[in-house]
């Protein structure tokens, strides 16, 4: 069974999508220019460990790159959707 979860955060709305389906927009600067930052989180029993520290780093990295900011509450919601029910 494939347990991967992929979600899109667009204008404050989190949507789970099929992990085999492409989700990039032609206007996304990541694939078109290589701009982007990422964070990885360790998940145990459905909770992202030290999520606040990871989200702080993500916000700082995005600001340093001059990328548009996303509200912390939206990132938190995305993390919650992706980690809900995860056994790892």
Q: What is the mean pLDDT of each run of 10 residues along the chain (88 residues)?
A: 79 90 81 85 91 95 90 93 81
Domain range summary for the chain, segments of one domain joined by +: 1-16+37-88
Compute the distance between CA of residue 23 and CA of residue 14 in angstroms, rounded to an integer: 13
State the pLDDT at residue 1. 47
State the pLDDT at residue 33. 81
Strand partners, 7: 16
State the pLDDT at residue 2. 59
Residues 6+ apart with CB under 8 A from 56: none
Please tell me the pTM assigned to this model: 0.78
């Amino acid at each position: 069974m494939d347990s991967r979860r992929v979600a899109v955060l667009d204008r404050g709305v989190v949507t789970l999508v099929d992990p085999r389906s492409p989700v990039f927009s032609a206007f996304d600067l990541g694939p078109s220019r290589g701009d982007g930052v990422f964070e990885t989180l360790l998940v145990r029993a459905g909770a992202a460990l030290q999520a606040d520290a990871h989200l702080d780093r993500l916000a700082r990295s995005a600001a340093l790159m001059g990328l548009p900011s996303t509200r912390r509450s939206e990132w938190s919601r995305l993390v919650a959707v992706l980690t809900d029910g995860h056994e790892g």
